[in-house]
Amino acid sequence: MAEPVLAIEGLSKRFGAVIACDDVNLDLREGEIHALIGPNGAGKSTLIKQIAGEIASDAGTVHFAGVDISALDAVARARAGLARTFQVSSLAPEFSALQNVMLAVQSGAGGTFRFLGRALSDPALTEPAMAALSRAGLAERARMTASDLSHGERRQLEIAIALAMRPKAFLLDEPMAGMGPEGSKTLTGFLDGLREEAPILLVEHDMDAVFALADRVSVLVYGKVIATGGIDEIRADPQVREAYLGEEGP
Amino acid sequence: MNRETAINTVLVAGLAAVPLIASAFDDPFIVTLATRIVIFALAGVGLNLALGYGGLVSFGHAAFFGLGGYAAGILASHALNYEPLATWPFEISGTTQMLVIWPIAMVVSAFAALVIGALSLRTSGVYFIMITLAFAQMIFFFAISWPAYGGEDGLSIYVRNQFPGMNTLDPTSFFLLACAILALALLFSSRLSASRFGLALKGARQNDQRLASVGIGPFRVRLTAFVISGMITGLAGALFADLNRFVSPSMLSWQTSGEIMVFVILGGVGRLFGPVAGAALFIILEHSVGPISEHWQFLLGILLLAVVLFARGGVIGVLAGGARHG
Ligand SMILES: Nc1ncnc2c1ncn2[C@@H]1O[C@H](COP(=O)(O)OP(=O)(O)OP(=O)(O)O)[C@@H](O)[C@H]1O
Ligand SMILES: [Mg+2]
């Protein structure tokens, strides 16, 4: 089998007495959606932050595209091809939707230290940015200020920004959160196709989406991965049922 | 033409009319006053880059203003006294040529901004304000306690420095020279604002987590902006030294830092012509109300309070209406 795109080994993180991430092993393979589920406070977002390089891990390594990126910071990891979306939308609020995406295009295209050329009307930036917005279903909101977008549209903008980075892997932290049933369905359809472009590590509470999309599921409880496997395996796992699915009933 | 452009045009026309007004009233002091406005505006254009576009509230820009001024003063005094600046490893003499002085003033300020920025940009908010202030104060006390260049008394430049093909001692000529530099700085500032660098800098101001997560490092972007900002303010300092033919530690004082900040905030943070409007208002207030009442600063305080509380876009924002873009 081919080497996984993303391989996490022995990752740990504690906040004082809280062990948010406890010796986690996880990988993400080409072409798959790997869902990461777990109750509130299980440490899912913490794990995403550790993979993205936003918080330092206490122990463990992260290999990405065959390279050990454990020592790289968040900027370098993004440049290496890791795109993440935030559980709580994190945008440049005064920028238009288009400008938000242009930042991501510019990161790849270079020229951040160019002081004179007009960026705002530069097709090298605007065209790929528009394309990403269209794919995320936000084309007609391109000129709208990010802070004026609806909650669901901000979620879509997060996706558009990640798309514009043309990453080698996506880390999506609850992309459906607060999208409403209609929005969730559309996004589910979109992510289904996206896995061909780059594999997705998907943190999600929406079980319909998880069961519709995931090739594999990992269950995180108190910072520990208690099970990893196909959907049926996970559904049947007694430990998972007790710790997590049991709360809602299958 | 939108309203902000119209206001900017009025400001430019106002400056252009200064020599005519001065000759109509036969009062050359008007030109000197206007030159002060132009030079302070230039210092503000520098700060606006950091503060307006980058959200970096530097309370230490007097450091760059003063260093630019001292660069001009020291170079000129060595040239006028026929004392070389250094004799080893080779002889370096002073100069009275503005075209040499300006780049040196900018390089000195840029270097200071690089050091101050590299240390202070690791912090933000109140800490950043205090650290930039602390650095400026350090340079201020250094200037006071360094007798070689006048110490507390400052340093006189007997003859205004020279510019090829121009009598710089003529107030109108020097005014036009300062205007030309301000125009170039404004052009640069507007281009920078719309450039890729500007996009990244404004992105960093709004959300540096977002910027980092798309793969652009906010620190380098901010540091670069801080250096450019310091350079422009340093150039203003060099011109200010020549305007007064005198450099003193007061150029480095925290009051100066505060005044440069007031120009920007009064005129409109992040507005291209904000520092021009702010400096003009400040100087006009100082010279119209100042002679009548010592308490003109009180009026300034009220005005500043009104701007901060009710009109974040400053004077330009109030007149042009609407939020700033980007
Ligand atoms: N910066 C921090 N400092 C201290 N504790 C933290 C910090 N970040 C997270 N935690 C704690 O770590 C644990 C895991 O939090 P995390 O946000 O990763 O959970 P999560 O699985 O994403 O939860 P949710 O489903 O609610 O998003 C929680 O107990 C949380 O309180
Ligand atoms: Mg979370």
Q: Are residues A119 and A197 in the same domain?
A: no
Q: Does one domain contain both A172 and A77?
A: yes
Residues A126, A225, single domain; the answer is no
| Closest B-chain CA to A145 | B326
Which residue's C-alpha comes closest to atom 25 of ligand 1?
A40
- Domain end position, chosen among A166, A186, A214: A166
Alpha-carbon gap, residue B187 to B39, rounded angstroms: 16
Question: Based on the domain organization, do A61 and A95 belong to the same domain?
Answer: no
SS3 content of chain B, % helix, strand, coil (to 5): 75, 5, 25
pLDDT of residue B175: 96
Residues A133, A117 share a domain: yes
Residue indicated by tokens 């936000």: A138
B217 contacts in A (CB within 8 Å)? 73, 75
Asked if B233 and B281 count as a contact pair (C-beta separation under 8 A), the reply is: no
pLDDT, position A240: 82
Same domain flag for A18 and A65: yes
Give dist(CA B139, CA B141) in Å, integer.
5
- Residue pair A92/B206 in contact (Cβ under 8 Å)? The answer is yes
Residue A15 Cα to ligand 1 middle (Å): 9
- Which positions 152-191 of B are in contact with A (Cβ < 8 Å)? 188, 191
A216 and A185 within one domain: yes
CA atoms within 13 A on the CB side of A79: 14
pLDDT at A249: 44
Buried b vs exposed e over A213-222: b needs ≥16 C-beta within 10 Å? bbebbbbbbb
Task: Say if residue A144 is in the same domain as residue A21.
Answer: no
Task: Sketch out chain B's domains with CATH numbers.
Answer: 3-319 (1.10.3470)
Cα of A211 vs centre of ligand 2, distance in Å, is 19
Same domain for A150 and A107: yes
Among the candidates A102, A136, A166, a domain finishes at A166
Ligand 1 binding residues, C-beta < 6 A: A 15, 18, 20, 38, 40-46, 87
Ligand 2 is a single-atom ion; what residues have CB below 5 A from it? A 44-45, 87
Q: What is the pLDDT of residue B91?
A: 81
> Which chain A residues have a beta carbon less than 8 Å from that of B212?
54, 73-75, 78
Kindly state whether residues A119 and A152 are assigned to the same domain: yes
Contacts of B196 in chain A (CB under 8 A): 106, 111-114, 117, 119, 122, 125
- For residue A224, what is the domain's CATH number? 3.40.50.300
Select from A121, A142, A166 the last residue of a domain. Answer: A166
Determine which of A96, A115, A125, A163 to mutate to test the interface with B (most B C-beta atoms within 10 Å). Answer: A115
Q: What domain count does chain A have?
A: 2
Q: Which of residues 53-112 of A touch B (CB under 8 A)?
A: 54, 73-76, 78-79, 83-84, 86, 90-95, 99-100, 102-104, 106-108, 111-112
- Domain extent, residue A188, equals 1-81+167-250
- Reply yes or no: is the peptide bond before residue B89 cis, omega within 30 of 0: yes
Nearest CA to ligand 1 atom 1: A15
Q: What per-residue string of b and e applies to A29-65 under the rule 16 or more CB within 10 Å gives b? A: beebbbbbbbeeebbbbbbbbbbbbbbebeebebbbe
Cα–Cα dist B110/B104, whole Å: 10
Is B214 at the interface with chain A, CB within 8 A? yes
Indicate which ligand has the atom closest to the C-alpha of A36: 1
Identify all chain B residues contacting A52, using CB atoms and an 8 Å cutoff. 213
Are A4 and A33 members of one domain? yes
Q: Does B316 touch chain A (CB under 8 A)?
A: no
Picking from A164, A40, A183, A168, the residue whose alpha carbon sits closest to that of residue A100 is A164
User: Which pLDDT does position B90 carry in this prediction?
Assistant: 80
Beta-carbon contacts below 8 Å between A and B = 107
Query: Can you give the pLDDT of all 250 residues of chain A as single tens digits?
Result: 578 999 999 999 999 999 999 999 999 999 999 999 999 999 999 999 999 999 999 999 999 999 999 999 999 999 999 999 999 999 999 999 999 999 999 999 999 999 999 999 999 999 999 999 999 999 999 999 999 999 999 999 999 999 999 999 999 999 998 888 898 999 999 999 999 999 999 999 888 899 999 999 999 999 999 999 999 999 888 888 887 655 554 4
Is residue A208 within 8 Å of A28, Cβ to Cβ? no
Angle at B93 between CA B92 and CA B95, to 5 degrees: 130
* Closest Cβ opposite residue A112 in set B191, B200, B212: B200
Tell me the H-state helices in chain A: 44-52, 74-80, 97-109, 123-135, 151-164, 180-194, 207-213, 231-236, 238-243
C-alpha A43 – ligand 1 centre gap (Å) = 5
Instruction: Give the nearest chain A residue to B214 (CA atoms).
Output: A104
Q: Do residues A158 and A176 share a domain?
A: no
Q: Flag whether residue A228 sits within 8 Å of chain B, measured between CB atoms.
A: no
Q: Which residues pair with B162 in a beta bridge?
A: B97
Query: A18, A37, A55: which to mutate for ligand 1, most atoms within 8 A of CB?
Result: A18
> Nearest residue CA, atom 26 of ligand 1?
A40
Cα separation, A153 vs A97, whole angstroms:
9
Interface touch A79/B195, C-beta < 8 Å: no
Cα separations (Å) of A222 from A8, A45, A203? 17, 12, 15
Cβ neighbors of B173 (< 8 A, separation 6 or more) are B166, B167
10-residue stretch averages of pLDDT, chain B, 326 residues long: 88 92 90 96 98 96 98 92 81 88 97 97 94 97 90 88 92 96 97 97 97 97 98 98 95 96 94 96 88 82 86 85 56
What is the model's pLDDT at position A131?
97
Q: Are B305 and B266 in contact (CB under 8 A)?
A: no
